[in-house]
């Protein structure tokens, strides 16, 4: 279980962004043809099934049920060869097929969404899903419903379609699944009810619902889709949890409001209608052994849910959600389903859900999706401009003060404590603070990491093209190698290259002035100017490699953001900041009474004094 889920790729991205910002702070110190599917019931295949109905009838014959029913029951349930009756129909959202074996959905496709091959997105097929009830009879026999033969019927009631699957032991003993579809909704209602089973069941034991699903691949990048496919569930105390993204993971949880088998942009969700599941045992297995090898399924999800009998019978109601991970769509159900969309934890998720999601939705209703990203980038950079101004102002002050700081360092080169005290006193007198250059950069990190999480999870970007990028939610390959390069991938994406080039020129453009504003390195401290030189080349290379497999929308954002940063920096430096006025302000500050140190400065001073004492005592 992972309370705050950060997979290794997000962690790398977080540290990459942080690393670039630390370097920046050093630089500023401190659809296809419609299937012709009509509502029909067709007998498709003749299957051999070892029906446990016969044994159920035997159990019933040993109970208090009238003996003269036994012959009819045994005659009905002794059939070894049955037809798997298929019910096929469609709604405005789904193409649906039911199987009589197990009484469950055997195929479900989303009519409004296509996969990377141009076919309908498939969440369920004949081999990847099981919905099963396990129970114990009063003779101690364990039964399950997944291999039992149900008799299907389909009825229509206005905009509703109702599928009834009936497992019959006798006229008065049966189990019924009733599925209700609203034509224009992704929710499916399921009622599970029995009659007469109290004569068969050992009601002193719980029965279990076992729901299994092998997540079907629907995106061109196996690694990328698998990274965002995981089992997630919602607690009764409004808390969301996850199983591990990679490898195998298991967990047991109580009071669960819903279970979601999430597949990046689509989810299969099981929701109890009345009260939360009292407990659930979860399991997730990774089915992808090699990201460079083609595969049909990504992960295997399993949930085992115990239930009490109600009046000694089966009696439960559920909702299924099979549909897109579209934030607004999930939020409309008002049960917290939108929390399964991975927009980041804590402040990052807050920024995305309350700022970037509505902002991008608004912009994308006016402009094409790629242009909307550019306009959102412009808005973000305008909002960040005051912070950039503060950083550049601090940088200019530090550059002006550096000669005098050098004199202090020479004067007290053998006394680190005195040198530090005099330096801090000089900063206070001049009205400058090293922290004034660091803080603006630190304040920008939550915004940029929030955007790092936003673009890969924004459903509205899925399969939306811009220039050469076919899908802004995936990488924008311009060249496929045909083989896999570790860390980099099997292709070349263009937007990450452009973003890397733009950040290189931005850092190159600002290096001279920023290095000039750097104070001389303190004893025992690294030389920041040397690290800056390495940073100019290292950061762009890291960005190009890491973002090669990420959302092209994210790389487009960074490319435009870097260009705007260059423009903003040039404007501030040449048209807003006046170095002569800054010098005059510094001289004026020097003539004024020195302000007492702030609480933070006093604490820093105490820490340095303690460090110096410990150094002397060694």
Other beta carbons within 10 Å of 142: 12
Residues 234 and 229: their CA atoms lie apart, in Å, by 16
Q: What pTM value is reported for the model?
A: 0.81
Residues 195 and 172: their CA atoms lie apart, in Å, by 7
CA distances from 555 to 105, 122, 224, 382 (A): 40, 29, 15, 19
Residues 551 and 452: their CA atoms lie apart, in Å, by 9
Given its phi and psi angles, is residue 312 left (phi above 0), alpha (psi -120 to 50 degrees) or beta? left
Per-residue pLDDT, 78: 35
Per-residue pLDDT, 528: 61
Per-residue pLDDT, 46: 40
Given its phi and psi angles, is residue 118 left (phi above 0), alpha (psi -120 to 50 degrees) or beta? left
Domains for the chain: give ranges and CATH numbers. Answer: 40-254+263-341 (2.70.98.90), 350-617 (no CATH)
Per-residue pLDDT, 23: 53
Burial of 342 (0-12, 13-18, 19+ CB in 10 A): buried
Residue with tokens 């419609």: 34
Q: Are 111 and 92 in contact (CB under 8 A)?
A: yes
DSSP string, 532-582: HHHHHHHHHHHHHHHGGGS-HHHHHHHHHHHHHHHHHHHHIIIII--HHHH
Q: Are 556 and 370 in contact (CB under 8 A)?
A: yes
Per-residue pLDDT, 154: 94
SS3 409: helix
Per-residue pLDDT, 338: 93
Given its phi and psi angles, is residue 238 left (phi above 0), alpha (psi -120 to 50 degrees) or beta? left
DSSP string, 273-297: SSS-EEEEEEEEEE--S-TTS--SE
Per-residue pLDDT, 388: 80
Listed as ranges, residues in the chain with pLDDT below 50 are 2-4, 24-51, 63-81
Residues 223 and 294: their CA atoms lie apart, in Å, by 11
Per-residue pLDDT, 428: 74
CA distances from 271 to 165, 177, 203, 238, 518 (A): 20, 16, 24, 15, 59
Per-residue pLDDT, 139: 87
Residues 205 and 191: their CA atoms lie apart, in Å, by 21
Residues 189 and 191: their CA atoms lie apart, in Å, by 7
End-to-end CA distance of the chain: 46
Q: Which residues of 86-98 are buried (b: 16+ CB within 10 A; e: fewer)?
A: bbbbbbebbbbbb
Residues 416 and 611: their CA atoms lie apart, in Å, by 11
Per-residue pLDDT, 50: 44
Q: Which two tokens stand for residue 281?
A: 């045992």
User: What is the distance of C-alpha 455 from the center of its chain?
Assistant: 10
Nearest to 220 by CA among 295, 288, 111: 295
CA distances from 415 to 409, 446, 523 (A): 9, 39, 10
- What digits encode the pLDDT tens for the residues 544-583? 998 998 889 999 999 999 999 889 888 888 888 777 787 7
Residue with tokens 């029909």: 40
Residues 237 and 242: their CA atoms lie apart, in Å, by 15
Q: Are 402 and 521 in contact (CB under 8 A)?
A: no
Can you count the helices (H) and strands (E) in the chain?
15, 21
């Amino acid at each position: 279980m992972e309370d705050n889920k950060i997979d290794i790729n997000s962690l790398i991205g977080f540290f990459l962004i942080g690393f670039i910002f630390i370097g920046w702070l050093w630089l500023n110190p401190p659809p296809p043809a419609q299937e012709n599917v009509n509502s029909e019931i067709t007998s498709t295949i003749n299957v051999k099934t070892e029906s446990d109905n016969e044994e159920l009838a035997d159990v019933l014959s040993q109970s208090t049920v009238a003996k003269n029913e036994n012959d009819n029951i045994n005659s009905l349930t002794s059939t070894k060869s049955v037809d798997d009756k298929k019910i096929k129909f469609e709604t405005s959202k789904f193409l649906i097929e039911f199987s009589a074996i197990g009484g469950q959905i055997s195929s479900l496709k989303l009519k409004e969404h296509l996969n990377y091959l141009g076919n309908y997105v498939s969440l369920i097929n004949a081999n990847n899903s099981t919905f099963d009830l396990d129970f114990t009879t009063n003779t101690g026999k364990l039964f399950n419903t997944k291999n039992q033969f149900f008799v299907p019927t389909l009825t229509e009631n206005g905009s509703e379609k109702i599928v009834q699957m009936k497992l019959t032991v006798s006229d008065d003993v049966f189990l019924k699944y009733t599925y209700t579809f609203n034509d224009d909704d992704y929710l499916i209602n399921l009622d599970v009810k029995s009659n007469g089973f109290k004569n068969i069941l050992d009601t002193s034991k719980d029965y279990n619902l076992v729901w299994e699903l092998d997540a079907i691949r629907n995106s061109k990048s196996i690694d990328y889709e698998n990274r965002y496919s995981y089992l997630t569930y919602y607690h009764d105390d409004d808390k969301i949890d996850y199983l591990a993204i990679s490898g195998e993971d298991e967990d047991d949880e109580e009071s669960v409001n819903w279970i979601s088998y999430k597949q990046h942009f689509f989810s299969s969700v099981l929701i109890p209608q009345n009260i939360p599941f009292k407990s659930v045992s979860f399991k997730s297995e990774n089915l992808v052994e090699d990201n460079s090898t083609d595969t049909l399924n990504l992960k295997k999800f399993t949930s085992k849910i115990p239930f009490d009998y109600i009046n000694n019978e089966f009696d439960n109601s559920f909702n299924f959600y099979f549909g897109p991970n579209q934030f607004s769509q999930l939020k409309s159900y008002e049960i917290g389903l939108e929390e399964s969309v991975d927009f980041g934890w804590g402040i990052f998720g807050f920024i995305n859900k309350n700022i970037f999601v509505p902002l991008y939705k608004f912009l994308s209703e006016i402009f094409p999706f790629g242009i909307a990203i550019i306009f959102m980038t412009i808005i973000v950079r305008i909002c960040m401009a005051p912070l950039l101004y503060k950083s550049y102002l601090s940088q200019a002050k530090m550059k002006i003060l550096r000669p005098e700081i050098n004199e202090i360092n020479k004067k007290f080169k053998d006394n680190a404590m005195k040198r530090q005290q005099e330096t801090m006193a000089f900063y206070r007198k001049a009205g400058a603070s090293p922290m004034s250059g660091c803080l603006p950069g630190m304040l920008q990190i939550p915004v940029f990491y929030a955007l790092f999480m936003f673009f890969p999870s924004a459903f509205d970007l899925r399969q939306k093209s811009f220039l050469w990028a076919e899908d802004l939610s995936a990488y924008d390959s311009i060249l496929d190698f045909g083989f896999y390069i570790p860390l980099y991938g099997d292709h070349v994406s263009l937007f990450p290259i452009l973003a890397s080039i733009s950040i290189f020129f931005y850092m190159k453009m600002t290096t001279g002035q920023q290095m000039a504003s750097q104070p001389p390195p303190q004893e025992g401290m690294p030389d920041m100017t040397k690290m800056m030189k390495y940073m100019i080349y290292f950061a762009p290379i890291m960005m190009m490699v890491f973002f090669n497999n990420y959302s092209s929308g994210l790389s487009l954002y960074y490319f435009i953001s870097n260009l705007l940063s260059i423009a903003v920096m040039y404007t501030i430096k040449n048209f807003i900041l006046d170095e002569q006025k800054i010098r005059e302000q510094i001289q004026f500050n020097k003539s004024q009474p020195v302000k007492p140190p702030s609480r933070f400065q006093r604490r820093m001073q105490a820490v340095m004094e303690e460090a110096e004492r410990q150094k002397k005592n060694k």
